[in-house]
Structure 1
Amino acid sequence: MSIEIKGMDEVLAKLDQQLGTRKVNAYSKEALTIMGRYLAVQIKNAVASYRDTGVTVQEIVVSTPRKKDGTLTVKIGWDGMGSRQRWRLVHLNEFGYTRSGRTYRPRGIGKIQKAYDSNKVQTKELGQNQLRKLVN
């Protein structure tokens, strides 16, 4: 999943002229970190609705911002370390599955996508506000 912020390229280009590339990258990374944490909390709340032991909620992690193909990105996912490896079950809960010709639709089907879609605008605004705060 990714959020595309239109018009931010022009703003970042102007900031790059005024502040320099290094500062703009630092500010962008900090804003992305905060956006990622916010969205992770929203996903945790969505996943908590069908939790059993709570391990699926506990394993949600946010990566550090990284530059990929010239674009800063942050990833939200499941840790997968240790014996639990809930990322395998998350896929089944999110999309459903078929076993022996029978289709199963778990109660968590589509919850993560719904949480992402409903918080896309708020996350974008949070990032913009954070950039304004950091620059001022």
Structure 2
Amino acid sequence: MSVEVSGVKELERQLVSLFGRENLPQLVDPALIAGATLVAKTLKSEFVQFKDTGASIDEINIEKPVYDKGVRSIKIDWKGPKDRYKIIHLNEYGYTRNGKKITPAGTGSVARSIRISERAYRAIVQKKIGDKL
């Protein structure tokens, strides 16, 4: 079985023709979960640098893969008893208090961890899908 791909849409079309739309999640979901686990691990290592109580690290959560606008995707968010999702954006972008820009120690940590793990994420997803082909 050989597949020649020139783009993401072409890849999806060929995978659907090989496996069928209903079997595609069984092929793609393990790859997405493995990639998301890597990104979550990188997030945790970035958050250790400015750890206080560790709640932001403990509440990192990987959701189940779902279709989002016709594309299979997975979401990493913050869920837990301390509701850290409410302040993650403040930590990421900073904030203004009394006209003064405040930049916390963790500013840019989410973007940095995504940038760090991007190539490894793609490699893991490609390997997991390639193993099933």
TM-score (norm 2): 0.88
Q: Distance in 2 between matches of 1:58 and 1:109?
A: 18
Per the alignment, residue 131 of structure 1 pairs with 129
The residue correspondences of 1:1-136 to structure 2 (distance < 5 A) are 7-79=7-79, 81-82=80-81, 84-135=82-133
Instruction: Look up the SS of the partner of 2:106 in the other structure.
Output: coil
**Contact (CA 8 Å) 2:38, 2:117: kept in 1 or not?**
no
Q: Deviations over 1:74-121 (max 9, x none)?
A: 111101x42x11112211111111111111111111111011012111
Runs (5+) with no aligned partner, structure 2 = 1-5
Residues 12, 24 of structure 1: 8 Å contact kept: no
- Secondary structure of the corresponding residue to residue 23 of structure 2: helix
* Per-residue CA distance 1:24-56 (angstroms, 9 max, x = gap): 221111211111111111111111110111111
% identity of equivalent residues = 25
Secondary structure of residue in 2 paired with 1:22:
coil
Residue identity in the other structure for 1:132: G
Q: Tell me how far apart the structure 2 counterparts of residues 8 and 122 of structure 1 sit (CA, whole Å).
A: 18
Give 4+ residue runs of structure 1 displaced > 4 Å after superposition: none
Residue aligned with 1:107, SS: coil
Which residue is 2:3 aligned to?
none
Q: Which amino acid aligns with 2:117?
A: N
Say if 2:94 and 2:101, in contact at 8 Å, map to a contact too.
Answer: yes
